[in-house]
A and B are shown apart, each in its own frame.
Chain A
Amino acid sequence: QVQLVQSGAEVKKPGASVKVSCKASGYSFSTFGLNWVRQAPGQTLEWMGWISTLHGNTNYAQNFKGRVTITTDASTSTAYMELRGLRSDDTAIYYCARDDFYFDYWGQGTLVTVSS
């Protein structure tokens, strides 16, 4: 069965960086794109960016351009999202989600807490 398994919770200080992983299984990794979506406490969902797992090209939301990098390692069927210059309002659950347009499978989420 399709699974996206993310890395564990992180606590970071303001200004630091965080790198969250998302390991895919149960399907051919390069067949579907991967997205990162975050959700601040009690808030709606916010799309951060997308990567083509076939070609490696990316598209990022303007809100995150310059601070976020999404990469993949096809040899391990894993995607990564790195967010730099963390601020307190980056405290959120970060999800990876499969597919290029709508998101049919989601990771379990990774809580990133930014606190001094």
Chain B
Amino acid sequence: DIVMTQSPATLSVSPGERATLSCRASQSINNNLAWYQQRPGQAPRLLINDASTRATGVPARFSGSGSGTEFTLTISSLQPEDFAVYFCQQYYKWPFTFGPGTEVDIK
């Protein structure tokens, strides 16, 4: 199985600041990577697919980059509603696998 890792586990950021989250795959997954946001008590929400394509309705402050094994999610200016847990997921190969998540909390 492809193992996904994320860093850091927790990221403390002030509102309005930039946040950079990393995701690494144990083997090349081309650009077959998605990012999800999960707020407490809610289902995950798709933010980014194909490593860099914003999903419908996702604000432009969210951007994704990378290919192969290294990926980044950037939130350019954190809004109060962005404090949540972020997961990456590879869909290059079954079984689809998720990273352990990065919690973005208020500094």
Contact = CB atoms under 8 A, between A and B. Distances in A.
B100 interface: yes
B98 interface: yes
Given A102-B89, A103-B34, A47 B95 contact: yes
B87 interface: yes
B43 A108 contact: yes
Contact of A44 (B32, B91, B99): B99
Contact of B44 (A50, A59, A62, A103): A103
Interface string B52-92: 00011000000000000000000000000000000101010
Interface residues of B, number: 22
Contacts, number: 52
B90 to A, nearest CB: 10
B94 A109 contact: no
Contacts of A45: 36, 44, 87, 89, 98
A61 B96 CA distance: 8
Contacts of B43: 95, 106-109
A97 B91 CA distance: 14
Interface string A76-104: 00000000000000000001010001111
Contacts of B87: 44-45
A62 B32 CA distance: 21
18 contacts: A44-B98, A44-B100, A45-B44, A45-B89, A45-B98, A47-B95, A47-B97, A50-B94, A61-B95, A97-B44, A101-B32, A101-B96, A102-B46, A102-B50, A103-B46, A104-B55, A106-B44, A108-B43
Given A47-B95, A95-B44, 10 more contacts: A44-B98, A47-B98, A61-B94, A61-B95, A62-B95, A63-B95, A102-B89, A103-B44, A103-B89, A107-B43
Interface of B: 32, 34, 36, 43-46, 49-50, 55-56, 87, 89, 91, 94-101
Interface of A: 35, 44-47, 50, 59, 61-63, 95, 97, 101-109
